[in-house]
């Protein structure tokens, strides 16, 4: 009976070690985009709204994906975080002639994130899905004669991964530059992420803007901890008494 139990324990130990070798939370680290000397792909994103809405009005929904030069979303993406309240105007330098800048803080709520299991954080899982916890966008809009002519953003976000404790977090910061908008009578190219509906998260909207995303820094923390492998001798001794 003791030999049978020992053999069973040995089999289970081997199975657990094998599973641990091929799956695990993303590796802790600081990962930078290629324009900062790292290996993380740059990105593209869209902000979508319904008729009567706009980039700084509630209902605007995000859709961001990595861009490797030919394909969207192969390394990372986040989507369906929505602006639910009017943004806070932080800076206003627009003069009496309508020339200057306005900077807003936009707070988005909800949404999802995803990292490929083949990224630099790879640790055995096929992929790393998760949820967005906080998402802030500081958008500066340039006006000429009261007309918006350009916009840039600074994005700061946090999130956590599914299937792991909420202490397994990611923190992201990056910058965006507006490429085009339906406000200017333009049509979004298919090489930019779709315009998402706030309720369904499907790309069924037709109004919005599209952006390039760069200088991205992704920090992953609290996910991996040092482990000490047990030797067969210690397992044997533990169950042979």
pLDDT tens-digit readout, 67-78: 999 999 999 999
Gap between the Cα atoms of 61 and 235, Å rounded: 53
Identify the pLDDT of residue 234. 40
So what's the pLDDT on residue 23?
Answer: 81
**Contact (CB, 8 A) for 90 and 136:** no
Contact yes or no for 175/135 (Cβ under 8 A): no
Specify the DSSP class assigned to residue 2. Answer: H
> Residue 160 belongs to what H/E stretch?
strand 147-161
Cα-trace Rg, the chain: 23
Please give the pLDDT value at position 13.
Answer: 45
Contact criterion met (CB below 8 Å) for 179 and 212:
yes
Task: Tell me the pLDDT of the chain averaged across its residues.
Answer: 88
Query: Would you say the pTM of this structure is higher than 0.85?
Result: no
Q: Would strands 100-109 and 127-144 be described as parallel, antiparallel, or unpaired? A: antiparallel
| Segment among 14-18, 28-32, 136-140, 192-196 with least mean pLDDT | 14-18
**Residue showing tokens 């406000």:** 183
Residue 135: the pLDDT is 98
Tens digit of pLDDT for each residue in 79-88? 999 999 999 9
Does residue 20 surpass a pLDDT of 70? no
C-alpha 238/C-alpha 33 separation (Å) is 48
Which tens digits make up the pLDDT trace of 152-183?
999 999 999 999 999 999 999 999 999 999 99
Question: What is the end-to-end Cα distance of the chain in Å, rounded?
Answer: 13
Half-sphere exposure of 144 (CA within 13 A, CB side): 3
Q: Between 232 and 111, where is the model more confident? A: 111
Angle at 164 between CA 159 and CA 168, to 5 degrees: 45
CA 115 to chain centre: 8
| Whether residue 230 has pLDDT greater than 50 | no
């Amino acid at each position: 009976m003791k030999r049978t139990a020992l053999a069973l324990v040995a089999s289970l130990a081997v199975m657990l070690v094998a599973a641990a070798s091929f799956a695990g939370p993303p590796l802790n680290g600081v990962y930078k985009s290629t324009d900062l000397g790292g290996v993380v792909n740059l990105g593209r994103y869209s902000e979508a709204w319904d008729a009567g809405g706009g980039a700084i009005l509630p209902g605007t929904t995000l859709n961001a994906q990595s861009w490797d030069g030919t394909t969207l979303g192969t390394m990372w993406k986040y989507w369906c975080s929505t602006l639910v309240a009017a943004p806070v105007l932080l800076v206003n330098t627009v003069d009496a002639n309508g020339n200057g800048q306005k900077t807003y803080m936009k707070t988005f709520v909800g949404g999802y994130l995803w990292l490929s299991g083949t990224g630099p954080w790879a640790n055995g899982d096929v992929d790393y899905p998760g949820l967005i916890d906080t998402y802030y966008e500081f958008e500066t809009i340039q006006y000429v004669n009261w007309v918006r002519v350009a916009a840039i953003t600074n994005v700061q976000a946090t999130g956590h991964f599914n299937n792991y404790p909420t202490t397994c977090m990611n923190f992201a910061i990056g910058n965006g530059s507006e490429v085009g908008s339906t406000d200017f009578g333009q049509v979004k190219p298919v090489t930019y992420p779709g315009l998402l509906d706030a309720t369904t998260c499907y790309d069924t909207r037709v109004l919005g803007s599209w952006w390039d995303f760069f200088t991205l820094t992704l920090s992953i923390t609290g996910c991996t901890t040092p482990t000490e492998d047990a030797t067969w001798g210690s397992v044997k001794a533990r169950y042979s008494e």
